[in-house]
Amino acid sequence: MKGKVYTRTGDAGTTSLVSGNRVSKDDVRVEAYGTVDELNSSIGVLLHSTKLDDQDIIALLRKAQNKLFNIGAYLANDAADATLYGLTQDDVTALEKMMDEMSEELPPMRGFILPGGSRLSATADRCRTITRRAERRVVTLSRTAHVEPLVLEYLNRLSDFFFVFARFNNIHNQVEEIYWDKDA
């Protein structure tokens, strides 16, 4: 791909959707797919954490990045007949399966766990919170435009995955989970 990255078409605070329609850069649709993009970048950071060496989790996260690109492209399309490509119920099931496998090794929770522990777990916690924000932005969009329910289901399950993964990583690496102390 040759050519300049900059077009100057967004200098006045607008951007083009897939349809070619121009909207404000703070439009609810742009907020939704922009937050999905932010999440994708954070997963990139998580993937390059020094202690992430489980090939199944790496593969699942790479797949999630591709799914998030599909979701972003779908959300960037304001056409009434926009199609969501590359995301199926099997993708939700794959997240559930991985969480079930990791959960088998986890002790029961005794309360609310503070984010953090190891750097890898803290990064997963950050991905979880960005996923929740992306989910909120998509819910907001769904109030004024049709959004395939599978998008919200996938984002919801992905945030659950990051929570379980953060716990799994701490326990697996013998890092103490720190519970919320309401009297602290």
pLDDT at 4: 83
Give, as one character, the DSSP assignment of residue 34: H
In a domain, 30, yes or no: no
- CA-to-CA distance for 170 and 184, rounded, in angstroms? 22
Contact 131, 158 (CB under 8 A): yes
The 10 Å Cβ neighbour count of residue 63 is 14
In a domain, 140, yes or no: yes
- What burial class does residue 78 get, using C-beta atoms within 10 Å of its C-beta: 0-12 exposed, 13-18 middle, 19+ buried? middle
- CA-to-CA distance for 134 and 150, rounded, in angstroms? 14
Angle, alpha carbons 98-99-100 (nearest 5°) = 90
pLDDT at 14: 86
Contacting residues for 23 by C-beta, under 8 A, at least 6 apart? 14, 15, 17, 29, 30, 78
In a domain, 58, yes or no: yes
In a domain, 8, yes or no: no
In a domain, 88, yes or no: yes
Angle, alpha carbons 5-63-60 (nearest 5°) = 140
Domain coverage including residue 166? 41-77+84-172
In a domain, 25, yes or no: no
- CA-to-CA distance for 172 and 121, rounded, in angstroms? 11
Which CATH number characterizes residue 156's domain? 1.20.1200.10
In a domain, 125, yes or no: yes
pLDDT at 51: 72
Report CA-CA distances (Å) from 90 to 45, 82, 152.
Answer: 25, 21, 14
- CA-to-CA distance for 123 and 118, rounded, in angstroms? 9
pLDDT at 32: 98
Q: What is the pLDDT along the chain (184 residues), one digit of tens a residue?
A: 677 888 887 887 889 899 989 998 999 999 999 999 999 999 999 999 867 778 999 999 999 999 999 999 999 999 988 999 999 999 999 999 999 999 999 999 899 999 999 999 999 999 999 999 999 999 999 999 999 999 999 999 999 999 999 999 999 889 999 999 999 8
Dihedrals φ, ψ of 22, to 5°? Answer: -100, 135
Contact 125, 160 (CB under 8 A): no
In a domain, 26, yes or no: no
Q: Is 14 helix (H, G, I), strand (E, B) or coil?
A: strand
Domain count, the chain: 1
